[in-house]
Amino acid sequence: MARPSKLTPELVDEIVKHIKAGNYPETAAEIAGISSTTFYRWKKYGKERKTGKFREFWESIKKAESFAEGLRVQTILKASEDGNWQAAGWWLERKFPDRWGRRQEIKMEHSGSIKKTVHFNQEAQNKILEEEGYDES
């Protein structure tokens, strides 16, 4: 006889509470006494199923993550409305990284000597391409 699952509505509520408070889901599960391995297994089961307690667990986790994200966005936007430009800038950097993200220029120079030379061998390349099934036609 299989032992009963630890996945109860009370446990789900506790994990959800910790996620809504801002914890990573894995951390929330560990706070509630569930190993990360078990947590991820339950999430996998829930994602794969259409109904049942594992599906309800997966949906509860997703909703809690969305709630936590939305709450933090509201907090940032409220701070920016209250005159905190850093909060607005932070939000823009993350929401629209292509337009507002920090850009870092990297320059690389080499002043040492080159110790290895790579020789191009067309015959070897053709053999590899042939083995991989590449056809030029």
Q: Collapse the DSSP code of 55 into the 3-class scheme (helix H, G, I; strand E, B; otherwise coil) and give the result.
A: helix
pTM exceeds 0.85 for this model: no
Instruction: Look at residue 133 and tell me if it is in a domain.
Output: no
Q: Decide: 88 and 38 in contact? Cβ < 8 Å.
A: no
Q: Which range of residues forms the domain containing residue 90?
A: 9-100
Helices (H), the chain: 9-20, 25-31, 36-48, 53-81, 85-95, 97-100, 122-131
Look at residue 135 and tell me if it is in a domain.
no
- Structural domains counted in the chain: 1
In a domain, 51, yes or no: yes
pLDDT in tens, 42-79: 999 999 999 999 999 999 999 999 999 999 989 988 99
d(CA 58, CA 31): 18
127 domain-assigned? no
Q: Would you say residue 128 lies in a domain?
A: no
